[in-house]
Amino acid sequence: MTPSDRLNQLPDGVFQELAIAAHERRKKGLDVIDLSVGSPDLPPPPHAVEALIRAAQDPREYRYAITALPEFHEAVARFYERYGVTLDPEREILQLAGSQDGLSHLALTILNPGDVALIPDPGYPIYDAGVRLAGARVEPIPVDAETLQPRFDAIPPEVWRQAKMMVLNFPSNPTAAIATRGTLERAVALAKQHDLLLVHDFAYSELVFDGVQPISILSIPGAKEVAIEFNSLSKTYNLAGARIAYAVGCPDALAALRKLKSHIDFGVFLPVQRAAIAALTTPWDGYERQRAVYAERRDALCEALGEAGWPVRKPAATMFLWAQTPGGQPSYPFALALLKETGVAVTPGIAFGSRGEGHVRMAFVHDIPVLREAARRIGAWLRQHHG
């Protein structure tokens, strides 16, 4: 069997080799502290789990869902009021089986082969993969190393003319940056000027620290004409494995994605939809509590790495530390050696684009003692290998 050229465009090297190295360690009876995957370790809200269990006991809930329950749309519309955004539940909301589902398929609905899409570099890998699968061309939006904001001014005029889609992601994976309102206003203005679809990935909308207010792109005046925003229950409610998310905004773009999805999936398992509705609509003190847990972990990990001789910048949001490798070493050999020799798994920055090189990403998805142990091992290893 020969895979398609389409498939061959997708990279597989980095994660596969790291997974093999982790497996080899475990086979030898050695442990792995996995900071490489942003999979939340905190529990989902109890009312969501109860709704899921109740529904799972009803045989009628096992039919094809086909489309979203109307109550799901209502629930998302009510939830979005917290961002100062009013949504029409029928036209401006589309349920997804995870935002990965929507992000990976969106390019197929917007781009023709040879079209151009602007993608942040560094950026979450599915943006690039989705565009490539659609046969379109990726042009990077360089992210400023200091401010961590997109450098729109670095994009040449002819690229702006060709671009049909632009992706932004705040709070950002991997850089953990939050958007300034100015960045989002400029993005909306540029989308209008160049007649392109603006796509904002807002998966970490609730994981912001130190009193920061998350900004939905749809709260920028006029954004609904040119923008859609992806959001997810994966991180906000720790429902990552349940696979439920949504896109909101520009009705025409959502209609295109809805049409494609009507051909390739039959909707989200109904008990999962019930859990999501319960999560979105029930008053919950978990938003604040979770932020506090992640912020405490962030502080502990940053402090421990500093003491270990690796000073890192404190992230303003998300569950990620984005750190320069000591001495700016290439990220992949650094991450592989670190994993093999200490059991601490981190993600090499190169996996997020060429401007991610010289960085690694660490997810603080463990309790503080585990994070401290990871930092202790890293410190000992750095002293041994890097003086």
Ligand X SMILES: Cc1ncc(COP(=O)(O)O)c(C=O)c1O
Stretch that binds ligand X, among 18-26, 96-104, 206-214, 367-375 (CB under 6 A): 96-104
Between helix 331-342 and helix 368-386 the angle, nearest 10°, is 110
CB of 124 to ligand X, least distance (A): 4
Q: Tell me the Cα Rg of the chain.
A: 21
Under the criterion CB under 6 A, does residue 169 sit at the interface with ligand X? yes
Burial pattern 250-287, b for ≥16 Cβ within 10 A else e, equals bbebbebbeeebeeeeebbbbbbbbbbbbbbbeebebe
Give the residue among 304, 352, 323, 369 at the shortest CA–CA distance from 15. 352
Under the criterion CB under 6 A, does residue 183 sit at the interface with ligand X? no
Task: State phi, psi for 146 to the nearest 5 degrees.
Answer: -90, -55
Q: What is the SS3 assignment for 168?
A: strand
Whichever of 93 and 304 has its CB closer to ligand X, that residue is: 93
Under the criterion CB under 6 A, does residue 240 sit at the interface with ligand X? yes
The partner residues of 33 in beta bridges, in order of sequence, read 344
CB of 106 to ligand X, least distance (A): 12
The answer to whether 269 and 65 have CB atoms below 8 angstroms apart is yes
Under the criterion CB under 6 A, does residue 122 sit at the interface with ligand X? no
Under the criterion CB under 6 A, does residue 38 sit at the interface with ligand X? yes
Stretch that binds ligand X, among 3-11, 79-87, 95-103, 279-287 (CB under 6 A): 95-103
Stretch that binds ligand X, among 65-73, 98-106, 136-144, 328-336 (CB under 6 A): 98-106
Under the criterion CB under 6 A, does residue 267 sit at the interface with ligand X? no
Under the criterion CB under 6 A, does residue 234 sit at the interface with ligand X? yes
Whichever of 120 and 286 has its CB closer to ligand X, that residue is: 120
Task: State phi, psi for 8 to the nearest 5 degrees.
Answer: -65, -15
| E-assigned strand segments in the chain | 33-34, 93-96, 116-121, 137-142, 163-169, 197-201, 227-232, 245-249, 320-324, 344-345, 347-348, 359-363
Q: Give dist(CA 319, CA 11) in Å, integer.
A: 25
Whichever of 25 and 235 has its CB closer to ligand X, that residue is: 235
Stretch that binds ligand X, among 59-67, 93-101, 268-276, 286-294 (CB under 6 A): 93-101
Question: Which 4-33 residues touch ligand X, going by CB under 6 A?
Answer: none
**Helical residues (DSSP H) of 123-211, grouped into ranges:** 125-133, 157-162, 181-194
Under the criterion CB under 6 A, does residue 95 sit at the interface with ligand X? no
Q: Which of 44, 98, 150, 356 binds ligand X (CB under 6 A)?
A: 98
CB of 158 to ligand X, least distance (A): 29
Q: Which two structure tokens, joined as six digits, stand for 243?
A: 């696979």
Under the criterion CB under 6 A, does residue 100 sit at the interface with ligand X? yes
Q: Which residues contact 140 (CB under 8 A, 6 or more apart)?
A: 118, 119, 120, 121, 353, 354, 355
Q: Which of 121, 201, 206, 229 binds ligand X (CB under 6 A)?
A: 201
Residue 136: CB atoms within 10 A of its CB come to 21
In what side-by-side order are the strands of the sheet with 116-121? 93-96, 245-249, 227-232, 197-201, 163-169, 116-121, 137-142
CB of 317 to ligand X, least distance (A): 11
Whichever of 204 and 334 has its CB closer to ligand X, that residue is: 204
The answer to whether 331 and 4 have CB atoms below 8 angstroms apart is no
Whichever of 80 and 124 has its CB closer to ligand X, that residue is: 124
CB of 88 to ligand X, least distance (A): 22
Whichever of 310 and 352 has its CB closer to ligand X, that residue is: 352
Under the criterion CB under 6 A, does residue 203 sit at the interface with ligand X? yes
Stretch that binds ligand X, among 14-22, 83-91, 92-100, 336-344 (CB under 6 A): 92-100
Q: What is the SS3 assignment for 298?
A: helix
Under the criterion CB under 6 A, does residue 42 sit at the interface with ligand X? no
The answer to whether 209 and 316 have CB atoms below 8 angstroms apart is yes
Under the criterion CB under 6 A, does residue 173 sit at the interface with ligand X? yes
CB of 52 to ligand X, least distance (A): 16
Under the criterion CB under 6 A, does residue 273 sit at the interface with ligand X? no
Under the criterion CB under 6 A, does residue 232 sit at the interface with ligand X? yes
The answer to whether 360 and 323 have CB atoms below 8 angstroms apart is yes
Binding site for ligand X (CB under 6 A): 38, 98-100, 124, 169, 173, 201, 203, 232, 234, 240, 245
